[in-house]
Amino acid sequence: MALPTKKPRNIRKALKQKNPSTNEVNIMAQKLSEISPDMQEMQEMLQKLRIEKEKTEELLKEKDEMLKAKEEELVTKGREQEKLQMEFKKLQKLKEPSPPYILWCKYQWNEVKKENPDAEFKEISNILGAKWKSVNAEEKKPYEEKYQAEKEAYLQLIANERSERHKQKTAMELLEQYIQFKQEAEKENKKTKKEKDPLKPKQPISAFFLFSNERRAKKNKEKYLQEMEAYKQKKDEEAMNLKKEEEEMLKLQKQEALQLLKKEETENIIKKTKEKRQKKKQQNADPNKPKRPASSFLLFNKEARKLT
């Protein structure tokens, strides 16, 4: 038995690469020529932006360094001020130096007081003054040296105080300058932002925004119409309610007026009937007709009143 042989399949031929036509080549070249200047402009703009960014970063770094240096100066000056304050407190304990005569008097006062116990302050001071005149220069020397030492210490204290005040003033001035500098730096940082050019043409609105604006306008119109209908209905209802209230008020007023008329009519009828009765009585009354005698009860009452 001979096996069936498979027929060989038709092998597909490789597709030949189509060479572009001259028209297509020209179109592509035109497109590239149109795109290339735009690309160049974009690249130039990007380069400018990069340069500006680098400049701003450098300026900001310089300002930060300046601020740090100022802060360090203030810290060091604050420490110096603290040291000076400590020294000033130590020196502040010293009092104003007393002259050599007063120092001598302090030592001699008790002795003179013992010699003259009955003497007063004025007399003792006079005695001490006379003695001081007779004291030698050698005896006066220790008191004078002590006075000079105290005087030097006192003058140094005053000088330190003045210098401290001056330093405090300078520190305050520096602080104010630092604050002003910081504020100016913040303002400049804010100003570094690009200001919009008013003459620059705006970009056209996209199709999506145009579509959304149209939809919004339609929706707003529909909403407005609905609100107007609701408003008109409310106004009509209010007008109807007002009319009903006015009608009810008119009805009440009419009823009250009718009631008043009825009252007046009844009162007039009563008056007329009373007048008619009185006229009849007057016509029928006889002047010669004897009066009725008083009853026993009335007579008893009269007698009782007389007795009381």
| Burial (CB count <10 Å: 0-12, 13-18, 19+), residue 60 | middle
The tokens for 94 are 């010293």
Residue 288 scores a pLDDT above 80 = no
Helix ranges, the chain (H): 22-92, 100-115, 121-134, 137-191, 207-284, 296-307
What is the C-alpha R_g of the chain? 63
Q: Which residue has the tokens 């010669």?
A: 288
Q: CA-CA distance, 186 to 180, in Å (whole number)?
A: 10
What is the structure's pLDDT at 237?
A: 92
Mean pLDDT across the stretch 281-303? 79
Q: Check: CB of residue 107 under 8 Å from CB of residue 139.
A: no
Mean pLDDT across the stretch 275-280? 83
Residue 224 scores a pLDDT above 80 = yes
Q: CA-CA distance, 174 to 48, in Å (whole number)?
A: 39
Q: Pick 167 or 225 by higher pLDDT.
A: 225
The tokens for 161 are 């105080």
Q: CA-CA distance, 141 to 100, in Å (whole number)?
A: 9
Residue 7 scores a pLDDT above 70 = no
Mean pLDDT across the stretch 75-98? 67
Residue 3 confidence class, pLDDT cut points 50, 70, 90: very low
Residue 223 scores a pLDDT above 50 = yes
Residue 5 scores a pLDDT above 70 = no
Residue 72 scores a pLDDT above 50 = yes
Q: Pick 123 or 27 by higher pLDDT.
A: 123
| Burial (CB count <10 Å: 0-12, 13-18, 19+), residue 168 | middle
Q: CA-CA distance, 168 to 161, in Å (whole number)?
A: 10
**What length is written for the chain?**
308
- The top-scoring range by mean pLDDT among 73-87, 121-135, 156-170, 246-260 is 246-260
CA distances from 204 to 12, 73, 121, 207, 209 (A): 53, 55, 106, 9, 10
pLDDT one-digit tens code per residue, 170-204: 777 777 877 887 777 777 766 555 667 677 777 77
Q: Which residue has the tokens 């360094």?
A: 65
Residue 270 scores a pLDDT above 70 = yes
| Burial (CB count <10 Å: 0-12, 13-18, 19+), residue 66 | middle
Residue 71 scores a pLDDT above 50 = yes
Q: Check: CB of residue 134 under 8 Å from CB of residue 178.
A: no
Q: CA-CA distance, 266 to 77, in Å (whole number)?
A: 111
pLDDT over 90 percentage in the chain? 9
Mean pLDDT across the stretch 43-70? 79
For residues 190-226, one letter each, b for 16 or more C-beta atoms within 10 angstroms of the residue's C-beta and e for the rest, the string is: eeeeeeeeeeeeeeeeeeeeeeeeeeeeeeeeeeeee
| SS3 assignment for 137-185 | HHHHHHHHHHHHHHHHHHHHHHHHHHHHHHHHHHHHHHHHHHHHHHHHH
Least confident of 73-82, 147-156, 290-299: 73-82
Q: Check: CB of residue 131 under 8 Å from CB of residue 154.
A: no
